């Protein structure tokens, strides 16, 4: 981050988000995937902790975990993952979308020469299995989600360290979408589900990153395009 970084107000605002909002009840739009039982999640937790070994327990946050971590942590540090980038590349037909108007979910996509700046949280050392289970309950629901988790090597505060990241795109996945930025903006501007809108998620993520001195150029362009689409349908919107 440059010492001269000056936070800016994103074009996409709460007023834009309010224009998109509408009440959406459960649409039964959940994808036809295989749910994980608690026993399944316990086995996944054990496997992830074996992969962690004796390293400290770090979590890498790129989106909602930054502004809604919902877990205890004893340290937070800004860090970077090389070879990855943020991407709205997972289709949502529930949660923040519907089958009729699908939304998109943020993930990490492989990107040669790319990078993703985020926040790493170090977990307390006690009860690692219970802490991992709480994370899995928050982040994953299906067997198909498991390959999207991995330990990444990050750099932060002059050190290299490993952290668990959720929704890192596997090299081959039928779930991975390859949309243009215009197509992404079309979806993000208007998709709403029972958990809220994609525009709300984008606004929260960009705002909190900006407050931390992190300006992701991809998200910055996307929020600008989403705001313009909402304004086109609401000419009276004061910006």
pLDDT tens per residue across span 57-92:
999 999 999 988 889 999 999 999 999 999 999 999
* β-strand pairing of 159-165 with 58-61: parallel
CATH number of the domain within which 114 lies: 3.10.490.10
Q: Of the listed 72, 75, 100, 139, which one is catalytic?
A: 139
Whether residue 80 lies inside any domain: the answer is yes
* Residue 87 φ then ψ, to 5°: -160, 130
Using CA atoms, how far apart are residues 112 and 59, in angstroms rounded to an integer?
23
Per-residue pLDDT, 191: 97
Using CA atoms, how far apart are residues 168 and 87, in angstroms rounded to an integer?
10
Using CA atoms, how far apart are residues 40 and 56, in angstroms rounded to an integer?
24
| 229-233 average pLDDT score | 95
Per-residue pLDDT, 238: 67
Q: Is the pLDDT of residue 3 over 60?
A: no
Whether residue 86 lies inside any domain: the answer is yes
Whether residue 142 lies inside any domain: the answer is yes
Specify the residue for token string 């649409």.
27
Q: Is the pLDDT of residue 231 over 60?
A: yes
Give per-residue burial for 163-185: e unless 16+ CB within 10 Å, then b: bbbbbbbeeeeebbbeeeeeebb
Per-residue pLDDT, 49: 98
Determine whether 139 is an active site residue. yes
What percent of the chain clears pLDDT 90, i.e. is strictly above it? 82
pLDDT digits over 164-206, tens only? 999 998 766 667 898 999 999 999 999 999 999 999 999 999 9
Q: How many residues are listed for the chain in this entry?
A: 239
- Residue range of the domain that includes 124: 14-233
Count of domains for the chain? 1
Whether residue 119 lies inside any domain: the answer is yes
Whether residue 3 lies inside any domain: the answer is no
| 150-163 average pLDDT score | 97
Q: Is the pLDDT of residue 2 over 50?
A: no
Q: Is the pLDDT of residue 111 over 70?
A: yes
Whether residue 139 lies inside any domain: the answer is yes
| 3-state secondary structure (DSSP) of residue 124 | coil
Whether residue 239 lies inside any domain: the answer is no
**Crossing angle for the helix pair 198-211 and 217-233, nearest 10 degrees?**
140
What percent of the chain clears pLDDT 70, i.e. is strictly above it? 95
* Residue 140 φ then ψ, to 5°: -130, 150
Could you tell me the pTM of the whole model?
0.92
């Amino acid at each position: 981050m440059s010492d001269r970084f000056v936070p800016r107000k994103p074009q996409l605002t709460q007023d834009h988000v309010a224009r998109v909002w509408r009440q959406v009840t459960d649409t039964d739009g959940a994808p036809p995937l295989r749910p994980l039982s608690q026993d399944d999640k316990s086995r996944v937790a054990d496997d992830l902790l074996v992969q962690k070994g004796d390293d400290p327990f770090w979590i890498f946050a790129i989106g909602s975990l930054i502004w809604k971590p919902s877990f205890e942590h004893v340290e937070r540090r800004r860090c970077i993952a090389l070879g990855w980038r943020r991407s709205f590349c997972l289709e949502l037909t529930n949660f923040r979308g519907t089958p009729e108007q699908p939304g998109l979910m943020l993930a990490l996509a492989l990107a040669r020469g790319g990078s993703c700046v985020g926040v790493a949280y170090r977990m307390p050392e006690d009860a690692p299995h219970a802490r991992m289970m709480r994370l899995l309950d928050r982040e994953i629901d299906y067997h198909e989600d498991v390959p999207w988790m991995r330990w990444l090597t990050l750099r932060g505060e002059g050190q290299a360290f490993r952290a668990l990241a959720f929704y890192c795109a596997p090299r081959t996945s039928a779930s991975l979408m390859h949309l243009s930025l215009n197509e992404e903006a079309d979806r993000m501007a208007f998709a709403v589900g029972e958990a809220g809108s994609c525009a709300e998620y984008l606004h929260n993520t960009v705002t909190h990153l900006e407050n931390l001195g992190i300006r992701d150029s991809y998200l910055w362009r996307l929020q600008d395009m989403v705001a313009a689409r909402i304004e086109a349908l609401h000419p009276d919107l004061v910006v």
